[in-house]
Amino acid sequence: MTATKIITSIILIFSSFLFLSLSELVFPFSQSISFNIITTSREILFYRKRIKELKGEVYKKKKLLRDLEREIKGLGIIPKERYLVVDLLRNRLFFKMGENVLREIAISTGSGNILIYGKKRWRFETPTGVLRILRKIKNPIWYKPDWAFIEEKKPIPPLNSKERLVRGVLGDYALDLGGGILIHGTPDEHLIGRSVTHGCIRVKKEDIKFLYENTSLGMKVYLYGK
């Protein structure tokens, strides 16, 4: 090895140490390794997966809405016909005539919670699909089911017990959609807008009065969103 090559090698080695020393002063090595590649990669993968899931949820919700609109149009609803649309995603009820919204109402719907007691199992959700108003009831009386006593940690009384008949819980009016599902008033109006019910649709006092007075038996109720 010539003297020139030796000198060149020494200069390169010295320059490398000098560069490392200067870089340590500007950006300490302890900080430079704090960027954990594995952790950061996992976070990136997590957020990408979450974004994909959210896009999927949005797509499903939009599809449900499109399906409902197609169903309504396919049934040939004429402009003079009135009907109800219940949006379970946003907890909103729309009183409509044709394409026109006559009144938008804030509601509460099923929580989706599950209660298990022995071999019995209840899922508290508001159904989707097309229902009809089967009965219109003034001053409705709530027939308290088994799950209500279980939630209150009370003994379940016989089916014909007077303990099951409760006044005032359903408000002044109720619309019976069948299958134990009612649109009714509530003393807990502060919960309107949230998914907290056992399946029924709760509305405020003035709104249930409006619905009672402006709906008719057999009127269609379209429910979608979950």
Q: Which residue has the higher pLDDT, 32 or 171?
A: 171
Q: Is residue 71 part of a domain?
A: no
Closest C-alpha among 91, 155, 85 to residue 117: 155
Q: Tell me the CATH number at 201.
A: 2.40.440.10
Are residues 31 and 83 both part of a single domain? no
pLDDT, residue 14, reads 57
Are residues 81 and 27 both part of a single domain? no
Are residues 31 and 114 both part of a single domain? no
Are residues 24 and 114 both part of a single domain? no
Which residues, 6+ apart, have CB-to-CB distance to 95 below 8 Å? 82, 84, 101, 102, 103, 104, 105, 210, 211, 214, 215
pLDDT, residue 12, reads 58
Predicted TM-score (pTM) of the model is 0.66
Q: Is residue 70 part of a domain?
A: no
Mean per-residue pLDDT for 120-135?
96
Count of other CB atoms within 10 angstroms of residue 23: 12
Q: Is residue 67 part of a domain?
A: no
Q: List pLDDT tens digits, range 129-167.
A: 999 999 999 999 999 999 999 999 999 999 999 999 999
Residue 174 has pLDDT above 60, yes or no: yes
State the chain's mean pLDDT as an integer: 83
- Provide the residue range defining the domain that includes 217: 77-224
Lowest mean pLDDT among 68-77, 102-111, 146-155, 211-220: 68-77
Q: Is residue 130 part of a domain?
A: yes
Number of folded domains that form the chain: 2
Are residues 96 and 26 both part of a single domain? no
pLDDT, residue 81, reads 85
Query: Is the sign of the CA dihedral 37, 43, 44, 45 positive or negative?
Result: positive
Are residues 110 and 23 both part of a single domain? no
